[in-house]
Amino acid sequence: MTMPARKVHLLGNASYRDEAEAMLAAPGDAALVERGVLRSLVLRCPDGCGETLVVNFDPRAGKAWRLYQRRGAVSVYPSVWLDGGCESHFIIWKDRILWCDVFEEGNEEPDYDPAIEPLVLDALPADRFVDPATIAQELDLIVWDAGKALRRLVARGDAREGVGSLKGTFGRIPQDV
């Protein structure tokens, strides 16, 4: 069995999918398709199955993911989860591929700056719960960084996570009057 890719290698931009696909050789190779607006990420499946995946960024074309490009690295939100074929499930965070299934062992999270935690805490409302994407958008952060900050704040007792249907959402701990 081929070892899964652990990084995305962004090889360039193309105007059309076939042009982007022609750039790809190895698992994790990727190219952006852009015609006036960003359309998609074309990616050689990082599990080594040989399939080419298309991650849509254009909401006019259906379900759309969000692309973050920071300091030369790409992140994609939410995770990529294939319903058929190899059924791979992974996160792309700062060029790292973090597996959510059989390849989890060996995952290495990218560098993280804990200095964002006070900003994330200040952005949390005390009267309701919000998801990491809301905080990330408000603070111009990568969603995966906002999520990690929120989990760390909860672990320290500085924030709270919702329960039941609110799991995965976060709020400030209300202060006693």
Q: Rounded to an integer, what distance in angstroms lies between the CA atom of residue 30 and that of residue 35?
A: 17
User: Mean pLDDT per segment of 10 residues, for the chain of length 177 residues?
Assistant: 87 96 97 95 94 94 94 94 88 96 88 96 95 96 97 96 96 80
Q: How many residues does the chain have?
A: 177
| Nearest one of 125, 169, 164 to 147, comparing CA atoms | 169
pLDDT of amino acid 115: 97
According to the model, what pLDDT value does residue 69 have?
94
Reported pTM: 0.91
**What pLDDT score was predicted for residue 120?**
98
Question: For residue 99, what pLDDT is reported?
Answer: 96
